[in-house]
A and B are shown apart, each in its own frame.
Chain A
Amino acid sequence: MSNKTDISVNVNGREYTRHVSPRVSLADFIRHDLGLTGTHVGCEHGVCGACVVKLDGKIVRSCLTLAVQTDGHAIETIEGLSESGEISDMQEIFHKRNALQCGYCTPGILLTAAELLEKTATPDREEIREFLSGNLCRCTGYEAIIDAVEETARERQDGK
């Protein structure tokens, strides 16, 4: 029987205090305790990337993170990034380019691509492919996603 502990975690700019079992993954905590279901679970072995969220500003696999590890830390999910508008340009381009089909991988992909563009303002296609090669998409074959990330980078540069 697990002893639950209290955690205080900042999610998408809001403080949450919850009483959680140490066994609960961050993915399950976000989805079921906090009701933020935009983060998805695809494998629970850290391979598919559907569960990617930001922890203290860096992307992590939320299926491989325990909720208790995030006490005192800050999480951002797709809902937060959407509301803040910081990836609205990328979302718009994804929409136009049809860089998603079923949408299950999409939140993980958007968060990963967002980190790429923070690190490298104008990545080439190979760099985009490499950075996204930890995100499984079974529907698109990736090309539309690469196109959309490339275009987002280009538009951000042009906008400067």
Chain B
Amino acid sequence: MANDTDLTDYIGHSVPRANTLALLNGRGQFVDDISLPGMLHVCFVRSPYSHARILEIDKQDALQSPGVVAVVTGKELLAYCEPWRAELTHLPPMQTALQYAMPPERVCYQGEPVVAVVAESRALAEDAAELVEIDWEELANVASIEEAMQSEGPRVHPEMDTNLAWSMELEQGELDKQFSAADVIVEQEFYVDRQTGVTLEPRGIIANYNSADGQLLLHHSTQVPHIQRAVYSKQLGIKESKLRIICPDLGGGFGLKLHIYSDEISTAALSVMLNRPLKFIADRLESFLSDIHARGHIVKAKMALTEAGNITALQLEDVAGGGAYLIHPRTSTIEPLLVGVCTPLAYDIEHYKANVSLVYQNKVPTAQYRGVGMPVASLVMEGMMDAAARKMQIDKAEIRKVNLRADDAYPCKSVTGETLEGLSQHESLDRLLEMCAYPQLREEQQKLREQGIYRGIGLVTVVEGTSPSPALYAAGGAPISSRDACTLRLESDGSIACITSLTEQGQGAYAIINQIVADTIGVKMDEVDILMGDTKATPFGGGTWASRGTSIAGEAALLSANAMKEKILDAVSQLADAPAEQLYIKNGKVIEIETEKVVLTLEELGRITHYRTMEFPQGFDPELVVTNHYSQRDHMMLYANCAMCLTLDVDINTGQVKLDQIWVVEDCGKVINPMLVDEQIRGGVVQGIGSALFEECIYDEDAQLRNGTLADYLVPMAGEMPDIKIAHVETPTLVTELGAKGCGEAGIISICAAIMNGINDALEPLGDVSLTSQPFTPEKILKAIGKI
């Protein structure tokens, strides 16, 4: 393997990541670790109300507070930052509200920033912020989704007739006919509460405007520097070529750090206004109030089946809660969109109808957070499968086998028009059932039931979307690139400089590119040095989101590495007077295939190329730099599949759920680094355990957040988490040479459904419990079985 002597076979191996060494020694550099000369600090006065008019702002006392440089209102900041409307024109029309860096007149969610205080330190800014006096006029607010749906009642945006931001209908086949003719009909209503993401490193930005040359430099904890640049450039009126974004180390993203945030763009605008470097770091309390939230769905589903358990039709209605604005630039519609598009994907369903919609609420906007609608799609589909299995007394694995497409059915189209290729649902399920010894699990369950222990088995088979094409966002006008690129250079010492548009959030972006480049060219991994996250230096690209890094940026890296290899061999053939086809590269040496003789080392080639070009024949100019872009344009997404089984125990005396074991079989195409894929799955599973059992944003009737601290909002800690066993099936995607699909969201897309199914399976002896309200808290469980 790769550890042995000369071998540089890295692809497919669990190689450690070079870029963790600094982090392990406390020598990483996150945005708050950076200090610029003359830097000031920003803190925001935020609305205490979920809906209110700003009548008057008195900043006189605040201005006098020690260390204060400026106190700026939304009205004053208008001159530096244009408001925007988030919209995707390729989807059914959206009602979108104007959003400001800081609103000049009306706030629409608790926590919306209204006044910025700039001071010599964050503490001094906070002291001054307390002295800002604001006269408010409270307005009627819209708190719950149900309230938002009412035809009469308060509006989040008075210029709109309703609180409906967007809706879409998908229909294929003859639903009414199928339901009339159905042998069995199953109906369920699912409720998924709103949650937040909680990145351990809160959001942060340092903006440094220099009026001398009109350059704006941002150090930004973001996953997508090019997108940020496009939007900031437009809103601030600064050319992209004068706007540079550098990504420091990023302490967790999960989709939270993709979006345009009022406080961050305000900080940039303030830097332009004041011509000084400014730092803004959200503290944890602010994070709860201002990071994008996610989920928040009410889904009604109805399914028709034959006696044998074949699904003939599926119908669903999803109302998703969107918050006060559509997030920019992705809009908040993608969650319900993917519920509509992805729910039926796992099974061969011919008749389908979905009505999905997004409503405004006086809450923080919801947006893309790991999984993006697909965890809800799985919850619904897999919940319906188990509900059908319970009703029809069919084994839960059997009912899935009956409905999964054959492994040789691909490529094919789903009922929602999505192309599915390279799936292995039967093979994955079979492997899973073997791995967990499913029949024995059922036997053990029976034995435990006799002892009064409520053991449950949760089983799901899921299809998840990864690696989107431009059809998802850019087709609708959003400045979101679905391309990524890789530039490679041979350096003077023979090492390879690699510059990629992919960004790191800890998932292993650096390592994957490192492996692909080193393996493909034929050099050791530490001979490749990678630069990421700098819009001035890297090629243009999409960044990290939607499980697209390996598949798309990895493909670009593969293309470049192959091209670089060709160029190296070509250059060496010129120097050595040997045909390129008779040479290959191994461990940084160019070797003649037949004789195994070393013709030239890359170190020598580097020296000659950069210093001693006279050694090349006249007319030959070595150009050992390559750039390749790759954009996945074949399908809206590359779909992968995941099968998951878990065991859990429900304590009916306390309602607590104790997770016992979890098994996962994932097919994400070609696996570049098994350890990193497994760790992505584990991380996603545990985040999803949080969603399933603990995480919810608890609001009162005035849309005030009641649990916005880490003591009250629970996220999974080590104590309660089980070990997770993972196996892989590898069906390379037909779309790329690399063959990899994405895997980062598989865990979270599967686990919530598996836990729900496990709980309902555990409680089956007590009747068909059908608890379908996430998070599945002890109280809900006790209520569902009539104990409280």
Contact = CB atoms under 8 A, between A and B. Distances in A.
Given A96-B16, A138-B252, A143-B682, A104 B200 contact: yes
Nearest to A78: B26
B471 to A, nearest CB: 30
Nearest to A2: B123
A102 B250 contact: yes
Contacts of A24: 123
A106 interface: yes
A52 B662 CA distance: 31
Given A43-B710, A96-B16, A103-B28, A141 B724 contact: yes
Interface string A42-59: 111101101000000000
* Interface majority SS (helix, strand, loop, mixed), chain A: loop
Nearest to B26: A38
A103 B21 CA distance: 10
Interface stretch (A3-11, A64-72, A127-135, A151-159): A127-135
A129 B198 contact: no
Interface string A78-97: 11001000000001001111
B20 A100 contact: yes
A31 interface: yes
B252 A37 contact: no
A105 B685 contact: no
Contact of A140 (B25, B202, B679): B679
Contacts of A45: 284, 709-711
A37 B29 contact: yes
Contacts of B177: none
B683 interface: yes
Given A98-B17, A102-B252, A1 B66 contact: yes
Interface string B1-33: 000000000000000110011011111111011
B706 to A, nearest CB: 16
Contacts of A145: 718
A97 B16 CA distance: 7
Contacts of B679: 98, 101, 140-141, 144
B711 A130 contact: no
A25 to B, nearest CB: 10
A122 interface: no
Contacts of B593: none
A43 B253 CA distance: 16
Given A45-B284, A98-B675, A133 B200 contact: no
A146 interface: yes
A91 B202 contact: no
Contacts of B507: 101, 139
B254 interface: yes
A150 B566 CA distance: 46
A129 B506 CA distance: 22
A135 B718 CA distance: 8
B284 A141 contact: no
A110 interface: yes
A77 interface: yes
Most B CB atoms within 10 A — which of A45, A103, A142?
Answer: A103
B255 to A, nearest CB: 12
Nearest to A39: B26
Contacts of A50: 200
A42 B24 contact: no
Contact of A102 (B27, B198, B251): B251
Contacts of B553: none
Given A45-B711, A138-B252, A23 B20 contact: no
A31 B201 CA distance: 15
Contact of A40 (B30, B716, B724): B30
A41 interface: yes
B501 to A, nearest CB: 19
Contacts of A97: 675
A136 B717 contact: yes
Contact of A98 (B20, B685, B716): B20
B200 A132 contact: no
A104 B123 CA distance: 23
B683 A141 contact: yes
Contacts of A138: 198-200, 252, 254, 683, 687, 715
B672 to A, nearest CB: 14
A101 B508 contact: yes
B505 interface: yes
Contacts of B779: none
Contacts of B29: 37
Interface string B675-705: 1100100111111000000000000000000
26 contacts: A24-B123, A31-B33, A37-B30, A37-B32, A40-B30, A40-B201, A42-B284, A44-B283, A48-B200, A79-B27, A98-B508, A102-B506, A103-B20, A103-B28, A103-B249, A104-B30, A104-B201, A136-B715, A137-B200, A138-B199, A139-B507, A141-B686, A142-B717, A142-B718, A146-B718, A146-B723
Across the A-B interface, give the 6 residue pairs with the lowest CB-CB distance, nearest first: A38-B26, A103-B23, A102-B506, A104-B251, A101-B506, A78-B26
Interface of A: 1, 21, 23-24, 31-32, 36-45, 47-48, 50, 77-79, 82, 91, 94-98, 100-107, 110, 125, 128-130, 132-146
Given A32-B35, A38-B26, A141-B682, 4 more contacts: A37-B32, A103-B251, A104-B28, A138-B715
